[in-house]
Amino acid sequence: MWRVTPGQALACREWDGEAVLYNDLSGNTHLLDGAALDLLHALRVRPADAATLAVRLADHFDAGDNDLVSLIDDMLVTLAGLDLIEPC
Amino acid sequence: MLTVGSLSRAELEARLSGAGLVLRTGPFANRIRSDVQPLIDGVALMYADYPVDPEGGFVDFHLDFLRSGGLRRWVRSQVHFAYDGTTPFQPLPLGQAYPMLEWTMNWCVSHRAHGYLIIHAAVLEKHGRAIILPAPPGSGKSTLTAALLGHGWRLLSDEMTLVHLDDAVLVPLPRPVSLKNTSIDIIRAFRPDAVLSRPVEETTKGTIAHLKAPRDSIARAAEPARPACIVFPRWEAGAAIALDPMPKARAFMQVADNSFNYQVLGARGFAALGRLIDASDAYTFRYSNLHEAMALFERLAQGAA
């Protein structure tokens, strides 16, 4: 299971399918695509694992079921590397 | 209103060597003290049209530029800079005193004026539309700025774009435009009317000369401007002119990289830059011919890319 890291307000601005997001913990700003932003918003609603997120976000992603879980897993690891999310 | 140009040379020197000349540049009051003739020459020529604030008012930056003492006063004399009693920089040869004044005034703003988001960028306005030119050294930013000032553009700044944190309005800080090396002769040829300071050779940036800011820009220094475009210029020998739209999120990241204090401001800087990007179209711009660039920027001023 993953959740948004406590302390992250996920302040972001989105233009034309790309977004910038302010990282409250590091002070850095990240350039994200729409898919990464969708994952963060979904995790802000409630913690979830990759399989659950794949079901919830199937309409947002253009990938097959198995590929989608794997894709989301990779994205979650990347977002965790930025301290935006953490295991719970 | 008292201006530097309304002071006689003797009065100017008396202020600089006494309690200090309180020079008004945009929102800032700079108290300058100096006994260095090349610096006084530069101030007299480049700042003639600038207001002098009365004694006893609030001063943002206290700047002292004094000649070496002892043997150094007579052999390879140097100028020493002190800021609020500290000496953040190494002394420089006396002949570089005026460029040193410009660099240190930039340093004061970029390191202290955190009431604004400060972008390392030129900013000019025409027909109510301000265009921001963020660019690293060598991109032709200052050359382009100096050329545009001869075509009816108002100078807000050649070096530092001040963005109001609450509403993304651009606050003018019109100061002399810094030209380096070959740019000096390019502008002399392109704008024979331009007033330039005496070129100073062998600085850390090569040969430097400053272009006097237009009188109208100085007179309108209290008049903010609305952002319309962010243009990332790149001069390239022989290149065909090209203006290409840039995705806003990428423009955000590049402007943040070109900012002096984006990191310092934290979430406030993020919000302010977001508002600036909201209000601006973003482009990359490549050029080799200044006449073509003038025509294209006129279209941008009219609201048509």
The pLDDT tens digits for A3-59 are: 999 999 999 999 999 999 999 999 999 999 999 999 999 999 999 999 999 988 887
Q: With contacts defined as CB-CB under 8 Å, which chain B residues touch A11?
A: 267, 270-271
Which of A21, A22, A28 has the most B C-beta neighbours within 10 Å, making it the best mutation to test the interface with B? A22
- Calculate the alpha carbon distances from A73 to A32, A63, A80, B50 in Å: 16, 13, 11, 61
Whether B194 and B75 share a structural domain: no
Q: Report the candidate in A87, A84, A69, A70 with the shortest Cα–Cα distance to residue A19.
A: A84
Check the CA dihedral B256-B260-B264-B268 and report its sign: negative
Contacts of B84 (CB under 8 A, 6+ apart): B61, B62
Helix (H, G, I), strand (E, B) or coil at B168: coil
Residues B208 and B91 in one domain: no
| Domain region containing A78 | 2-84
**Cα–Cα distance, B279 to A87 (Å, whole number):** 38
Q: Cα B87 to chain center, whole Å?
A: 22
Q: Show the tokens assigned to B252.
A: 């955000």
pLDDT of the residue at A61: 76
In this complex, which of A9, A13, A24 lies closest to B274 when CB atoms are compared?
A13
Mutation to test the A interface, candidates B117, B230, B246, B248, most A Cβ within 10 Å: B248
Q: What's residue A67's pLDDT?
A: 84
Segments of chain B with pLDDT less than 70: 69-76, 305
Under DSSP, is residue B135 helix (H, G, I), strand (E, B) or coil? coil
Q: What pLDDT is stored for residue A65 in this prediction?
A: 62
Pairing relationship of beta strands B129-134 and B160-164 according to DSSP bridges: unpaired
The answer to whether residues B99 and B122 belong to one domain is: no
The whole domain housing B12 covers 4-112
Q: Within the 210-239 window of chain B, which residues sit less than 8 Å (CB to CB) from chain A? A: none
State which of B112, B135, B164 marks the end of a domain: B112
pLDDT tens figures, B14-34: 999 999 999 999 999 999 999
Q: Of the residues B112, B132, B149, which one is the last residue of a structural domain?
A: B112
Confidence (pLDDT) at B71 = 54
User: Do B288 and B232 belong together in one domain?
Assistant: yes
CB-based contact, B250 to chain A, within 8 Å: yes
> What are the phi and psi torsion angles at B298 (to 5°)?
-65, -40
Question: What is the number of domains present in chain B?
Answer: 2
